[in-house]
Structure 1
């Protein structure tokens, strides 16, 4: 990938902190933020509310919506941060094949995820669904070039760690937003 990523996908299972970290990263990058959960069709949300695991077929339309968001950001040359669980390697390949996309994995141990979801209010993804997501999660291979960060840190520390790692890979990240991806 030349220059720097235009689209950052903040990935991880439920409770890993995708939304909080994604919003904070988008503020720091002065970029757009898109919550991937909002791309789920109502049928998926109803299924998850009923504690039923999503299957590949259920996720197909959702991933297509996220792909559209990625294409739009790349076409408009606008940086964006998007949250997406990206549980399977095939999903990750599908998303990164679109161009200047960088995956970021929030690595959080299962006991912490359970604690976070047990205390989470006003979200359709409940603790009972966590184990199905963990079972569906396919390990990340080195070839995927995912930036892994410690999801146990405070959100601002996570973003600091992420940006520090990103600047080592993408020197253009040190430039102002209007110059980062212009080359």
Structure 2
């Protein structure tokens, strides 16, 4: 697959990193963990239970955009895990090139259960409500697919890669257009 840029997005507990690693492997791309782009101040704030503001998020999102743009310029397929909760955040990420989104979604109960089962992560279950309140699902004009995480990892990755295979062909012709199914 040519230099497709993929953002695996969603709220905490959706399994963004796990899915993104597997999608990157399957498409022969490089993977980046979106959380690694956070400043130490952002990580400390979230670990203390404070939701990030847009002011906190813009530099983080800009760093992810720059990484995606560098991969695109090098002709490498790239997959990054990033919450990308609001459309304006996704608009910024799309400045990197032809970005496709894989939006992982699930019930608040399942997501909270998953967050509670993680060890050593700075995002705590009590911050899920603020992420769900901020979340703007993909719009009909945004290039992406929404997948329920209750489906299980293999089915999620199969659906994502199937979408990307079809979308990559069309994205080079019509950037940022949602491929028809």
Decide: shared fold, TM above 0.5.
yes
How far residue 108 of structure 1 moved from its aligned partner, in angstroms, is 1.2
Select 2:15's aligned residue among 14, 17, 20.
Answer: 17
1:63 maps to which residue? 61
- Residue equivalent to 1:120: 118
Structure 2 CA distance, aligned partners of 1:109 and 1:70?
30
> Which shifted more, 150-159 or 66-75?
150-159
Distance 1:39 1:169 in 2: 27
* Structure 1 segments of 4+ aligned residues over 6 angstroms from their partners: none
Cα distance in 1 for residues equivalent to 2:72 and 2:167: 20
What corresponds to 2:96 in structure 1?
98
For residues 103-129 of structure 1, the C-alpha deviation after alignment (integer angstroms, 9 at most, x for no partner) is 110121111001111111110001011
Equivalent pair of 1:5/1:102 in contact (CA under 8 Å): no
Residues paired across the two proteins, number: 170
The superposition leaves residues 70-89 of structure 1 with CA deviations (integer Å, 9 ceiling, x where unpaired) of: 11101101111101100111
Distance in 2 (alpha carbons) for counterparts of 1:133 and 1:104: 17
CA distance in 1, matches of 2:25, 2:102: 16
Checking the alignment, whether the CA contact within 8 Å between 1:5 and 1:101 is kept in structure 2 is no
What's the secondary structure of 2:150's corresponding residue? coil
Instruction: Give the TM-score normalised by structure 1.
Output: 0.87
Between the aligned partners of 1:37 and 1:27, the Cα distance in structure 2 is: 19
Task: Provide the rounded CA distance (Å) in 2 between the counterparts of 1:144 and 1:49.
Answer: 31
Structure 1 segments unaligned to the other structure (5+ residues): 173-183
Give the Å deviation of 1:67.
1.0
